[in-house]
Amino acid sequence: MDRAAKADLVATLNGVFSTTSLVVVAHYKGLTVADMQKLRAQMKQAGATVKVAKNRLANIALDGTDVASIKPLLKGPTLLAYSSDPVAAAKVAVDFAKANDKLVILGGAMGATALNPDGVKALATLPSLDELRAKIVGLVQAPATKIAQVVNAPAAKLARVFGAYADSAKTDEAA
C-alpha cells in the first residue's frame, strides 16, 4: 500500500469514526474467508459495516474523534464494525460471536462512551431503531383501534339484545 492509499484510508476511517454512533472492536483470528463474508453480509443486511484495517492506520484515524477510547483495543488481528444505528453493529457482532467462537469481541465505543465486552453485549440486547419505531407506531395505532371498538360496542350490544328478544318471541310463539 503506497503513501497516498494510506492517506486515503486514514481520511475515510476518520470520516467514519466522526459520523458513526457505534464502533465495535473484535479479534477475528481463525475466521475463514467464508465466515468473514457471512459476517459482512449479516452486517450489511442490518445496516452496519465491517472493516479490517491496519491498527496503526486506524489509530491515526481515531485522533480527534469521539470514539478515540477504542485505541487500546487495537492490538493484534482486529476488525471494526460500525453503524449509525446505535444497536445494529453490536447486535450482529454478538450474534455472530455466539455462533462462531473465533470472533472475540474486545469492546467498543458509543459516542464518547467506552464499552467493555459486557457493555457491547448489553447494547446488543436492546431493540434496534426499527423495532422501536414499530413499537411506537403500534402504540399510536392502538388507541384508534380501541376507540373504534368502543364506538361499535353499543351497536353490537343493541343487536344482541334485539336478537335475544327475537329468539324469546319465537320460543313464546312456539309454546
- What are the distances in angstroms from CA 130 to CA 7, 8, 137? 35, 33, 11
Contact assessment for residue 46 and residue 92, using Cβ atoms and an 8 Å cutoff = yes
**Mean pLDDT, rounded, for 142-147:** 68
Task: Please check the confidence at residue 148 and state whether its pLDDT lies above 70.
Answer: no
- What are the distances in angstroms from CA 73 to CA 34, 93, 121, 141? 25, 16, 16, 45
Q: Which three cell numbers stand for residue 134?
A: 414499530
Higher-confidence position of 54 and 139: 54
**Mean pLDDT, rounded, for 11-36:** 89
State pTM to two decimals. Answer: 0.69
In the chain, the percentage of residues whose pLDDT exceeds 70 is: 86
Reply yes or no on domain 3-126 having CATH 3.40.50.300. no
Q: For residues 55-91, b (16+ Cβ closer than 10 Å) or e, as one string?
A: bebbbebbeebbbebbbebbeeebbbbbbebbbbbbb
Task: Please check the confidence at residue 152 and state whether its pLDDT lies above 70.
Answer: no
Q: What is the pLDDT of residues 91-120, one digit of tens each?
A: 999 999 998 888 899 998 888 888 888 888
Model pLDDT, residue 157:
67
Task: Please check the confidence at residue 37 and state whether its pLDDT lies above 90.
Answer: yes
118 DSSP β-pair partners: none
Model pLDDT, residue 25:
92
